[in-house]
């Protein structure tokens, strides 16, 4: 009996239009695959700049790009707004929440993860995450309303506690502190200094754990200079509507609690019938596919590949490219290869003129040069020329323009 010939133009369903999903789609399209790109939203979100949306330095349109506009670049790609409901590996099809079903030769799961509340009592009910565009916009509206109410005497204060001293928490705390120090006194002169504060809580004795000690110290010093109250070596025991409770019994007044502590796989991943490991991530081979279903690949934060990788844009992009290339190779009858991460380094910003940069070769940098590098690199990763131009203009207007226009959050 003659063996069925492998398809040269495989049908591939890519679920998730984040860094990994778009990178995979791009490689697949270049290889001639027929791709359906699915996402619950009609746009892709540039997550590293969500804190700028939350603090009103950028608008929502600045950090999003329509998935259909992306798909239009490639004749073999189609975009579809839908949410994944179930995966049927044995039948090689996915089921969507609207009841539709899509067959595939290969499947790429790049849905990302969600906020991890780490079982802290009251955290999910009383804290605000900043993982999605909706999260960032909701936090922005909360801050706007509370500042207006404080200025009008309807609230006593607008104290903010940021939980988590990673890059997101540091960037959020630093930006909020600059607004409190530079902008709010001009736009809301009715608010007294003691009616606002920014506190950062971190369970380690330092911020930015993946960085070298000199960069951690530089970031902490920069936060303190901006007026951030650091509570290092402190564990959160609970979150109330108006306070954050620490394990040592301390009660921090908090009108707005920002949760920047970690992520985990969404609960619905357990319904897909695929093996899961630490944090609910899907267990994979070194080639980034599922051992029992090699036609299913996973890229990005949901990927449970051997050897932990930081949940950042670069690993997601590189995994997406690798997955796309492996599918094209497999469809042509070639063997797949293991994924190898090329570490370009890590960076985080604290505020105007201050960032930390750590390269894979050990080189470190902080201050204005690192901040300029941070701005330019982030702008270069944005999709669309309009977005790049708008974000670059907004960055320099926010930090170099008149103090009263530093952010709309204070208007």
Residue 87 structural domain: 11-40+82-113+265-331
Q: Count of domains in the chain?
A: 2
Q: Tell me which of 286, 304, 331 is where a domain ends.
A: 331
If you write DSSP's letter for every residue of 281-345 in order, what string do you get?
A: PEE--TTSEETTEEEEEE-STTEE-SS---SSHHHHHHHHHHHHHHHHHHHTTPPP---------
Same domain, 283 and 221: no
Instruction: Assess if residue 392 is contained within a domain.
Output: yes
- Domain of 28, CATH number, reads 3.50.50.60
Q: Are 247 and 149 spatial neighbours (Cβ–Cβ below 8 Å)?
A: no
Same domain, 146 and 288: no
Instruction: Assess if residue 323 is contained within a domain.
Output: yes
Same domain, 225 and 359: yes
| Nearest in space to 279 (alpha carbons), one of 313, 244, 311, 304 | 304
**Three-class SS state of 99:** coil
Per the structure block, which two tokens stand in for 275? 């093996």
Instruction: Assess if residue 118 is contained within a domain.
Output: no
Instruction: Assess if residue 2 is contained within a domain.
Output: no
Q: Which residues pair with 336 in a beta bridge?
A: none
Same domain, 100 and 133: no
Q: At what angle do helices 19-30 and 313-331 cross, to 10 degrees?
A: 30
Please give the distance of CA 171 from its chain centroid, rounded to a whole number.
13
**Three-class SS state of 220:** helix
Instruction: Assess if residue 228 is contained within a domain.
Output: yes
Instruction: Assess if residue 289 is contained within a domain.
Output: yes
* CB count in 10 Å sphere of residue 247: 11
Instruction: Assess if residue 307 is contained within a domain.
Output: yes
Same domain, 210 and 169: yes
Please give the distance of CA 279 from its chain centroid, rounded to a whole number.
16
Instruction: Assess if residue 336 is contained within a domain.
Output: no
Residue 8 CB-half CA count within 13 A: 0
- Domain of 144, CATH number, reads 3.50.50.100
Q: Are 240 and 126 spatial neighbours (Cβ–Cβ below 8 Å)?
A: yes
Same domain, 230 and 294: no
Same domain, 156 and 231: yes
Structure letter (DSSP) for residue 214: H
pTM for the whole structure: 0.90
Same domain, 100 and 200: no
Same domain, 24 and 98: yes
Same domain, 287 and 364: no
Same domain, 247 and 152: yes
* C-alpha span between 39 and 29 (Å, rounded): 17
Residue-level pLDDT, tens digit, the chain, 411 residues: 444 544 568 999 999 999 999 999 999 999 999 999 999 999 999 999 999 999 988 889 999 999 999 999 999 999 999 999 999 999 999 999 999 999 999 999 999 888 899 999 999 999 999 999 999 999 999 999 999 999 999 999 999 999 999 999 999 999 999 999 988 999 999 999 999 999 999 999 999 998 999 999 999 999 999 999 999 999 999 999 999 999 999 999 999 999 998 888 888 888 888 999 888 899 999 999 999 999 999 999 999 988 778 788 899 999 999 999 999 999 999 999 999 999 889 999 998 889 999 998 888 999 999 988 888 888 888 877 778 888 888 777 766 666 555 544 444
Q: Are 195 and 253 spatial neighbours (Cβ–Cβ below 8 Å)?
A: no
């Amino acid at each position: 009996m003659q063996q069925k010939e492998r398809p040269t133009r495989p049908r591939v369903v890519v679920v998730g239009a984040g860094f990994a999903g778009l990178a995979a789609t791009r490689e697949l399209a270049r290889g001639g695959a027929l791709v359906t790109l699915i996402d619950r939203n009609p746009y892709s979100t540039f997550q590293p700049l969500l804190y700028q949306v939350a603090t009103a330095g950028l608008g929502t349109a600045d950090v999003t790009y329509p998935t259909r506009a992306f798909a239009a670049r490639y004749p073999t790609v189609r975009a579809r707004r839908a949410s994944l409901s179930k995966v049927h590996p044995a039948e090689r099809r996915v089921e969507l929440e609207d009841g539709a079903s899509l067959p595939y030769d290969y499947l790429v799961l790049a849905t990302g993860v969600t906020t991890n509340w780490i079982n802290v009592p009251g955290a999910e009910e009383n804290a605000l995450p900043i993982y999605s565009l909706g999260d960032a916009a909701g936090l922005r509206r909360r801050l706007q309303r509370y500042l207006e109410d404080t200025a009008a005497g309807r609230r006593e204060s607008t104290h903010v506690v940021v939980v988590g001293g990673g890059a997101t928490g540091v960037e959020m705390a630093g930006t909020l502190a600059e607004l409190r120090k530079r902008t709010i006194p001009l736009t809301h002169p009715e608010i007294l200094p003691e009616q606002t504060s920014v506190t950062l809580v971190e369970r380690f004795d330092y911020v930015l754990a993946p960085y070298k000690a000199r960069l951690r110290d530089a970031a902490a010093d920069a936060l303190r200079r901006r007026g951030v109250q650091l509570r290092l070596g402190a564990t959160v025991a609970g979150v109330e509507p108006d306070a954050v409770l620490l394990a040592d019994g301390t009660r921090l007044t908090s009108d707005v609690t920002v949760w920047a502590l970690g992520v985990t796989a969404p609960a619905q991943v357990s319904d897909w019938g695929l093996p899961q490991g630490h944090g609910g991530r899907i267990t994979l081979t070194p080639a980034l596919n599922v051992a029992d279903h090699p036609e299913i690949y996973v890229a990005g934060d949901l990927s449970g590949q051997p050897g932990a990788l930081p949940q950042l844009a670069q690993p997601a992009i590189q995994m997406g490219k690798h997955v796309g290339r492996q599918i094209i190779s497999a469809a042509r009858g070639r063997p797949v290869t293991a994924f190898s991460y090329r570490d370009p380094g890590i960076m985080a910003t604290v505020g105007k003129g201050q960032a930390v940069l750590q390269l894979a070769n050990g080189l470190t940098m902080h201050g204005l040069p690192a901040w300029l590098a941070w701005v330019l690199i982030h702008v270069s990763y944005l999709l669309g020329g309009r977005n790049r131009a708008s974000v670059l203009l907004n960055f320099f207007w926010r930090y170099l323009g008149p103090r009263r226009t530093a952010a709309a959050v204070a208007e």
